[in-house]
Structure 1
Amino acid sequence: MTVHALFFCLRPDPDTARRLGAVSEALVRRLGLRAKAARAERLHVTLHHLGWYDDQTDQAEVMAEVRQLAADAAASLRHAPLRLDFDQLLSFTRKRRNLPLVLSGGACLDPVRTLRQALGERLKASGLRTDPHFTPHLTLFYDDFVVEPQPFIVPGWTATDLVLMDSLQGQSRHVELARWPLA
């Protein structure tokens, strides 16, 4: 049985993803960690998580309905391309082990917050639930080592598309389901 995690995100272009992957690898070396740096093709900034679904019959039907509602919401969204840059490095410490080391930021990520809010309004209007808690971030890797919040400036990219992804749990694989241009 496969468990699917559906989510909306912003993904870097391939060149930016490789550059961010190199930042991740350099941090692993600099911090002396055993963690594996994130694979460039998995790097993203999540906007809204839409839930977990397994591929049993009833769950598959629910997942298909959520996908359709989410696609309709995304198709109705009008938003200009936006710039993402990062100015902070930190570990999320909500759990004890396997902590995400992330790039995050303050005002430099306000455009992401604005897009997330606009998409959230569309999702709610479609009958989907959204999580009010949000810290825009890009996960570089997971490790038990805690990195306290610190300034760390990393140029990002200009996001030109909103992407609906399916993360296949336990397979370390993301499948792009749909993409809408930001224009």
Structure 2
Amino acid sequence: MSLFPELDVPPSDRLFFGIFPQAPVAEAIAGRTRDLKGRLGLAGAPLTPDRFHVTLHHIGDYAGLPRGVVAQALEAGEAASTAAPFEVVFDRAASFNNRGNNPFTLQGRDGLSSLHGFQKALGLAMAHAGLGKQVARQFNPHVTLLYDRALAPETPVEPVSWTVGEFVLIHSLLGQTRHIVLGRWPLKG
């Protein structure tokens, strides 16, 4: 319990690094989501194609946008942009158990090794920029398709792939389903 409850403001802002598929790939993911939802008997509403992404590092949830953290993240993004573009392939779908609000996601196995390497390199850049405590220690890359009360089993899907040519720093307004791009870096390698 806080000594100053009036200062306990719930978080309204989230910062994260992510990758987003190009629009045609996002539309293909939306089609697969509709098919899987029907086939697996899921009831949750699919996310809109512009919301499909892979979170590389969740920097934090804040009450207001912390300018110092944003500056450090921008510095880390610039440092990590020297990487080369790479391919990602997602070839299965499954739910994560989140006690009733279960994300149903695209996942992959062999087609994500370059993504793991990039995520690690970005984490090193974050640490050098002063964000070492925000570096994700574990990384299970996925694209959330919808949320549902039911848990869907692992299901093979026709592979979804794209070339990652950029990554972004996102300011997400919590509860508003709004993403604001604060930084965008093409991969230059």
Alignment correspondent of 1:137: 142
Equivalences for 1:42-61 in 2 at 5 Å? 42-55=51-64, 60=65
Alignment correspondent of 1:33: 42
Cα shift at 1:181: 0.5
Is 1:82–2:91 an aligned residue pair? no
Is 1:173–2:152 an aligned residue pair? no
The alignment's TM-score, normalised by the length of structure 1, stands at 0.91
Unaligned stretches of 5+ residues in structure 2: 1-9
- CA deviations 1:43-92 (Å, max 9, x no partner) are 1011001001112xxxx4xx111111011111112101111111221111
Task: Tell me which amino acid in the other structure corresponds to 1:31.
Answer: L
Alignment correspondent of 1:117: 120
The alignment's TM-score, normalised by the length of structure 2, stands at 0.88
Tell me how large the CA RMSD over aligned residues is. Answer: 1.4
Alignment correspondent of 2:95: 91
Report the number of matched residues: 176
Cα shift at 1:161: 0.5
Unaligned stretches of 5+ residues in structure 1: none
What is the distance in 1 between the residues matched to 2:45 and 2:112? 26
Q: Is the 1:2–1:168 contact (alpha carbons within 8 Å) kept by the matching residues of 2?
A: no
Alignment correspondent of 1:16: 25
Cα shift at 1:2: 6.7
Q: Secondary structure at the match of 1:24?
A: helix
Cα shift at 1:25: 1.6
- CA deviations 1:100-158 (Å, max 9, x no partner) are 01111112111110000000001011111212011011111100111122332322211
- CA deviations 1:155-178 (Å, max 9, x no partner) are 221111111111111111212121
Alignment correspondent of 2:67: 64
What is the distance in 1 between the residues matched to 2:99 and 2:149? 7
Q: Percent identity?
A: 35
Which stretch of the first structure deviates more once superposed, 112-121 or 17-26? 17-26
What is the distance in 2 between the residues matched to 1:111 and 1:8? 16
